Amino acid sequence: MERMEKYMSVKMEIPSEDALRSAVLNGRIKPRTATDAAVTGCAREEVKDFAQKISDDMGLGFNLGNTFDAVIKPDSPVKGLDIETAWHNPKTTRGMIAAIREGGFKTLRLPVSWHNHVSGPQDTVEPEWMDRIEEVVNWCMEEGMYVILNTHHDIYPGFLLPDNDNIDRSSEFMRNIWMQIARRFRQHSEEKLLFESMNEIRVHGADYEWTPDYDNKDCIDAMRNVNTLNQVFVDTVRSEGYKNSERCLIIPGYSTSTEGVCWDGFTLPQDTIPGRLFVAAHMYSPAHFAFFLKEGANLLTFDIDDPASTDPIDERLTKLYDKFVANGIPVALDEFGTVDKENDPERVKYLAYTLAKATQLGIRCCYWDNGVFFRYGDGMAIFDRKDLSFPRREPVDAMLRGIRVFDDDSVS
């Protein structure tokens, strides 16, 4: 109760549009492909295609985290549809989706873990699980939202791992799962429903688990295997036809990191239709501010005019712009955010700046909301899923203001 009272009473000041514009344009790290300091906020018009036009309209995104992505151990008594609430978030409702859309979010990323819900040699998905996922997707579409549907926490032996020992089985699992997903959603809008192949695919426990080591042979092999899995994904979805033939598909690199997709060996899959692929990346930078780290200094403040705060953001986003957006390939920064360290006014400034910089570079963002309020070092919720409300509007308004600085048209 004390933490809630503090959250509701603390003063949160959102930087003005002029201040955000000045901070972004005066940053030290410039896109190498820009003709001047003010990037247009999207790809050059002459290289725009279907996927880029979808990206331009996606606005602000929201992750329905720690819900359908929840996983359980094989001996857990929690089974089937009950896994949706296994990580202590309430069951998703039609009203919840409507409230998120009304709050200003045009895109909903729906993280889904599948391996707890499959059986048999073909990894057959439980019908009730597939029905439930479709129900929520349909609610989003009834609200006019874009939806990103993925495979999320399936990175376990026997399912989805990118090392050489597991690549054959992982390719089989990828093919089996996406065949079923694509078949179920083959009549859903090719514009509003996007598929994302994987989430943070990596080698558990390796020194390079989260940050690729370009000098490590095993890491390079795993990164190449991610390319292979992405190709399996694209081939499988396209083979199911109907609206899957033209659907936009989102492609991550190793660990869904900037380093994974900016590696020279990262390749987009071959596709049967041009201009339908996005690149995915996640960003929790600067790490000592966005996360709670057990070792090292944890930063509690963020200054939009201080390079120590903004350079880590600018560097990652600019790399993504230079390699992809400037060449007509849209980027979905489909996870970002900052954990609760009882520094709510600083988090608001971080959100405003990140969205302003990303929008300047034509990159769309989905905030990671895990449904957890007031858990120091872990809580990332801004939406109360029980009350169907945003207890404080400032975090959302900060992100919307950041977008408006460079792209007022996509905020509606």
CB 333 within 8 A of CB 282: yes
Residue 117 falls in the annotated catalytic set: no
Residue 5 falls in the annotated catalytic set: no
Residue whose structure tokens are 């449904």: 371
Distance CA 237, CA 225 (A): 18
Region for residue 310 given its phi and psi (left: phi exceeds 0; alpha: psi -120 to 50; beta: otherwise): alpha
Indicate the SS3 state at residue 63: strand
CB 199 within 8 A of CB 153: yes
How far are the Cα atoms of 83, 128, 259, 313, 340 from residue 154, in angstroms, in the given order?
14, 19, 22, 28, 27
Of 143, 259, 335, 346, the active-site residue reads 335
Residue 335 falls in the annotated catalytic set: yes
What DSSP character marks residue 378? Answer: T
What is the helix (H) or strand (E) element at residue 22, kind and residue range? Answer: helix 17-25
Distance CA 253, CA 8 (A): 39
Residue 208 φ/ψ, nearest 5 degrees: -105, 25
CB 362 within 8 A of CB 59: no
What would the DSSP string read from start to end of 352-411? HHHHHHHHHTT-EEEEEE-S--S-TTT----SBTTTTB-S-SHHHHHHHHHHHHH-GGG-
Of 143, 190, 196, 200, the active-site residue reads 200
What would the DSSP string read from start to end of 250-279? EEE-GGG-HHHHHSTT--PPP-SSTT-EEE
What is the helix (H) or strand (E) element at residue 129, kind and residue range? Answer: helix 127-142
Distance CA 370, CA 385 (A): 10
Of 152, 153, 188, 282, the active-site residue reads 152
- Helix, strand, coil percent values for the chain (each to nearest 5): 40, 10, 45
Give 280: exposed, middle or buried? Use CB within 10 Å, 0-12, 13-18, 19+. Answer: buried
Distance CA 172, CA 123 (A): 9
Residues labelled as active-site residues: 152, 200, 335
